[in-house]
Amino acid sequence: MAAEATRLLEQHVPADGPGMAVLVARGDEILYRGARGKASIELGVPLSPDHVFRIGSVTKQFAAAGLLKLVDEGKVALDDPLSRFLPDYPNGDAITVAQLLNHTSGIQSYTSIPSYMDQDIRRDVDTDALIAVFKDKPAPFAPGSDWDYNNSGYVLVGAVIEKASGKGWSAYLDEVLFKPLSLDHTRDGAGLAIVAGHASGYSTGSDGFSRATPISMTQPHAAGALLSTVDDLWRWNRALHGGKVLSADSYMRMTTPEGKAAENGRNYGYGIFRTTVRNRTAFEHGGGINGFLSDLFYLPDSGVSVAVLRNADGEGGATVGLIARKLAAVAIGDPYPEQVAVAMAPAELKALEGVYRKDADNARVLRMRDGALTSQRSGGPVFTLVPLGNDRFGFGDGSLSLLEIDRDASGAPTGLRLISGGEGEGELWTRSQEALPDAPVTVELPREALDRVVGQYEAEGISWRVFFDDAGMLRVQVPGQPAFALLPMSPTLFRIAEVDARFEFGPETGDVQTCRLEQGAVRIEARRKPD
């Protein structure tokens, strides 16, 4: 375990950049506990597994358990309407407590409100002021009719805790969870108090590392405001899944997806995703917040816990979960096999080129580029596939996912199967008769043509900024995401090379007023914000 953990940390975490802390345990036995990188780049302080991190949405697990404690005490019922606790909340009679917990309430997530993550997220708020931000926003869907990951729902989970307990949401969690379970380093991150051992947070991108963008830690609330350590998260797993926190009925509800939360691969309980590791049941949740990333796994059959905490956001978010999953597999004695490339003739790869469809809105294009076969899903990045033999391909960079070619009796390719996480039969994409689309071509434009599209653009639920970076590169950035180079295809049409996204600006002459974003099946019309 130590050798594999060390290898993964050295592979993914630079020694002189933001770090990562890891703890792997089987039951009460710690199999590995270590860290790599810096807790403070400026001061040259090495990261330690003792350091405290923001855990982002892993907070939801604690908030859900806190509310379920109130259910066990008879102070709240899962089918209670929200209006019982917040009488003035719009449509509160139709929204249940359970729907807040499993993201089926239909309430708009406040972190998706255009421009909110730019400046408003830095403002200190109390519970009522935060609810006022989103309570009157249009509902994306009727309660219970769909599933959409929703931070507003967990702000309301915190509000229900406050109304039912008579205490602040985090004060209540401290009283019923943190203190009784000796989670000595788990606490609300809001306020100005100095937290001993708190690692500094950074952002990563194509240009290296920078300080994380500011945020008031009153804003994440019960959706993501907690701080913790790898040791506390391990103790939390042992207590929650060991029957020391909730009644058997409440624990079953927390870990069993239901309704729309169980459909279409969502598998979301209450603050917990139900997934698999090497075909064994696993409970997992990740988190991302300004400057930090987190992931927490628990495998009930073996009692294996894996906690991974990183003091950087941005690029590499998927790596935190990937490392946690790989270490969990090692801990159960069934590691994922290494993907070893094999040689394939260019003509064999060329024969696989084409458009493969999951449905009318989702296509995957296989195309030869620079002698290698690549895969790009509608609206997604381009991956260079790694031939593994027997019509299987990997996605590189340590990914566990596989792409497997289906053929007919004559050997002609008829489709592909995408095997996420390298497990199961996979998802079938059928080869269509469509012609391979032309590869996008970038053109050069004068500086004045590029200046014309610079600005802030806003649409319902999303915003983006077009700007020049310090090196003079035109870039586009959605709040909370990395900035991508924006490459011109014409004076009005631009693209992002890393993903299948295009931006069309209008009108063709004069001041730009609109921007149309096309990414896969998504079409968004935005208006330019006046200077």
Neighbours of 84 (CB within 10 A): 16
The Cα–Cα gap between 383 and 87 comes to 50
Q: Which residue has the tokens 């500094």?
A: 200
Fill in the amino acid letter for 93: D
How high is the pLDDT of residue 315?
62
The answer to whether residues 269 and 255 touch, using CB atoms and an 8 Å cutoff, is: yes
3-class DSSP state of 306: strand
Write the secondary structure of 52-114 as one string of H (helix), E (strand) and C (coil): EEECHHHHHHHHHHHHHHHHHCCCCCCCCEHHHCCCCCCCCCCCEHHHHHCCCCCCCCHHHCC
How high is the pLDDT of residue 480?
64
How high is the pLDDT of residue 316?
56
Neighbours of 69 (CB within 10 A): 23
- What tokens were used for 399? 């990914």
How high is the pLDDT of residue 39?
98
Alpha-carbon 426 to chain mean position: 22
The answer to whether residues 494 and 487 touch, using CB atoms and an 8 Å cutoff, is: yes
Does 507 sit behind a cis peptide bond, omega within 30 degrees of 0 on the bond before it? yes
| Full-model pTM | 0.86
State residue 452 phi and psi, 5-degree precision.
Answer: -65, -30
- What tokens were used for 19? 């770090």
Which spans in 259-316 are helix H?
none
The Cα–Cα gap between 427 and 404 comes to 10
Closest CA to 154 of 59, 295, 88: 59
Closest CA to 309 of 59, 58, 53: 53
How high is the pLDDT of residue 58?
98
State the DSSP code for 477. E
The Cα–Cα gap between 327 and 398 comes to 13
DSSP bridge pairs for 308 = 22, 295
Q: Print pLDDT tens along the chain (531 aa).
A: 999 999 999 999 999 999 999 999 999 999 999 999 999 999 999 999 999 999 999 999 999 999 999 999 999 999 999 999 999 999 999 999 999 999 999 999 999 887 788 788 999 999 999 999 999 999 999 999 999 999 999 999 999 999 999 999 999 999 999 999 999 999 999 988 999 999 999 987 656 788 998 999 999 999 999 999 999 999 999 999 999 999 999 999 999 999 999 987 789 999 999 999 999 999 999 999 999 999 999 999 999 999 999 999 976 556 899 999 999 999 999 999 888 999 999 999 999 999 999 998 889 999 999 999 999 988 778 889 999 999 999 998 788 999 999 999 999 999 999 998 888 888 999 999 999 988 888 899 999 999 999 999 998 878 899 999 888 899 998 876 778 899 999 999 999 988 888 999 999 989 999 999 998 778 899 999 987
DSSP bridge pairs for 484 = 476
How high is the pLDDT of residue 312?
95
Q: For 488, how many CA atoms within 13 A lie in the half-sphere containing its CB? A: 18
